[in-house]
């Protein structure tokens, strides 16, 4: 097989955080160009991806004991989705909707305590459901009914705003452990631990002001998200110490934009008395319209197939971003055969497509001009 000098790098644990790529010794990357064989559609060349970082925001306070009637604010029915690929669809975020409703309850003068909150499964997934445990004072006449009306009005407004993007949102105040509506007959419970008033106020206000979703679009590729963030997880720690934690996934194909967004979130969290923890940082791969390796593979595809391939970038992570972080300026392209149901137990590859992709790769390597 005719080809230029090659270094082959094979990595493991891609699905669990690209751990193999993270562990690569930079000394192994002794070339100027990288061909990444890890894309999912024949005839598409990937020429850019997002980098990212996880930001955990935690705010703490004191625990109070509150007697009253318990109810659960349930937000369900949202589509959710991958925070990279689906963020541009502007679907509803159940955690942020919970914050908006909590603030609406406060604005309407409803008196309640927060006994717990949980929502979302991972920082890189748009949360489709959230539950907030509430306690209404026993001596507050019609407190739950008043809250139900506020929730009904606010939920109706949010459904209209989401429209067809996320049509099945439901928001309801229900009895703990059931889907039956809460009402004034909820049994009284003694000494329920709740967040103190200051922490409850800061929680609602932070959720109403936290940035989320698409922050900027690419100037080079129409329709491509360049920078975004997703509030994916909300968790509460009770009863000994009141603490709420929020997990954000930040993405950008430009490190400077990612870092500026991270700093913005840290500064905002600090204003609400919260602490931020950074983890899982990885570099992006900004689209380069003058990429030599991408241009060569595109020319080769056109010569073999009579048409130009699609050149795209994705708002998700690829090994190319990590490798470019190890070796700045590394010129990359990513390609592969047709795959289906990627990252599931039904994943499969089309054999004929793999054969054509192999022939394409060999021809591109055979005709690569090392001297250019």
Per-residue pLDDT for 242 more than 80?
yes
What is the Cβ-side half-sphere exposure of residue 348, based on CA atoms within 13 angstroms? 4
Give the chain's count of helices (H) and strands (E): 8, 18
> Whole-angstrom Cα distance, residue 52 to residue 229?
9
- pTM, two decimal places: 0.85
In this predicted structure, which of 59-68, 149-158, 175-184 has the lowest mean pLDDT?
175-184
In this predicted structure, which of 130-139, 177-186, 313-322 has the lowest mean pLDDT?
177-186
Per-residue pLDDT for 186 more than 60?
no
Per-residue pLDDT for 37 more than 90?
yes
Percent of the chain at pLDDT exceeding 90: 71
CB 6: neighbour CB atoms within 10 A? 8
pLDDT at 141: 64
Higher pLDDT, 22 or 179: 22
- What pairing do the DSSP bridges indicate for beta strands 188-195 and 63-76? antiparallel
Question: Mean of the pLDDT values across residues 121-128?
Answer: 91
pLDDT-based confidence at 300, cuts 50/70/90?
very high
pLDDT at 157: 98
pLDDT at 190: 67
Higher pLDDT, 183 or 329: 329
Question: Mean of the pLDDT values across residues 219-225?
Answer: 88
Per-residue pLDDT for 130 more than 60?
yes
Question: Mean of the pLDDT values across residues 52-58?
Answer: 95
> Whole-angstrom Cα distance, residue 149 to residue 222?
43
pLDDT at 296: 97
User: Contact 253/234 with Cβ under 8 angstroms?
Assistant: no
**For residue range 321-363, what is the model confidence (pLDDT) as tens digits?**
999 989 999 999 999 999 998 877 888 999 999 999 999 999 9
Per-residue pLDDT for 222 more than 90?
no
pLDDT at 370: 82
Sign of CA dihedral 339, 340, 345, 348: negative
In this predicted structure, which of 104-108, 189-193, 225-229, 262-266 has the lowest mean pLDDT?
189-193
> Whole-angstrom Cα distance, residue 310 to residue 298?
8
Per the prediction, the chain carries an average pLDDT of 92
E strand spans, the chain:
33-36, 44-49, 51-61, 63-76, 81-82, 113-119, 125-126, 130-137, 170-174, 188-195, 213-217, 225-237, 242-252, 275-282, 310-314, 331-334, 339-340, 348-349
Length reported for the chain? 372
Per-residue pLDDT for 240 more than 80?
no
User: Contact 184/175 with Cβ under 8 angstroms?
Assistant: no
pLDDT at 16: 65
pLDDT at 188: 59
């Amino acid at each position: 097989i005719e080809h230029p000098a090659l270094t082959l790098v094979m990595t493991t644990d891609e699905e669990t955080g690209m751990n193999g790529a993270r562990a690569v010794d930079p000394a192994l990357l002794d070339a100027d160009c990288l061909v990444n064989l890890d894309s999912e559609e024949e005839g598409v060349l990937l020429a850019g991806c997002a980098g990212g970082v996880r930001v955990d925001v935690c705010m703490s306070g004191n625990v109070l004991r509150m007697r009253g009637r318990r109810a659960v604010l349930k937000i369900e029915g949202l589509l959710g989705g991958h925070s990279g690929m689906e963020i541009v669809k502007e679907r509803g975020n159940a955690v942020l909707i919970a914050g908006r409703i909590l603030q609406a309850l406060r604005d309407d003068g409803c008196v309640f305590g927060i006994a717990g909150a949980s929502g979302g499964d991972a920082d890189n997934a748009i949360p489709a459901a959230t539950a907030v445990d509430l306690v209404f004072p026993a001596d507050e006449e019609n407190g739950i009914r008043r809250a139900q009306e506020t929730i009904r009005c606010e939920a109706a407004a949010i459904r209209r705003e989401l429209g067809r993007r996320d049509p099945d949102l439901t928001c309801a105040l229900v009895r703990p452990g059931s889907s039956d509506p809460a009402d004034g007959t909820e049994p009284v419970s003694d000494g329920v631990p709740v967040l103190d008033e200051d922490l409850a106020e800061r929680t609602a206000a932070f959720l109403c002001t936290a940035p989320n979703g698409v922050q900027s679009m690419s100037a080079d590729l129409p329709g491509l998200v360049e920078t975004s963030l997703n509030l994916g997880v909300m968790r509460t720690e009770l009863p000994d110490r009141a603490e709420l934690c929020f997990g954000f996934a930040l993405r950008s194909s430009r490190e400077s934009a990612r870092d500026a967004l991270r700093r913005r979130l840290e500064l905002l969290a600090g204003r609400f008395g919260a602490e931020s923890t950074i983890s899982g940082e990885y570099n992006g791969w900004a689209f380069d319209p003058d990429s030599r390796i991408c241009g060569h593979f595109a020319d080769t595809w056109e010569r073999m197939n009579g048409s130009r391939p699609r050149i795209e970038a994705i708002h998700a992570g690829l090994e190319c971003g990590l490798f470019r972080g190890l070796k700045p300026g590394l010129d990359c392209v990513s390609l592969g055969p047709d795959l289906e149901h990627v990252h599931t137990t039904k994943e499969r590859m089309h054999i004929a497509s793999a054969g054509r992709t192999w022939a394409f790769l060999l021809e591109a390597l055979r005709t690569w001009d090392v001297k250019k």
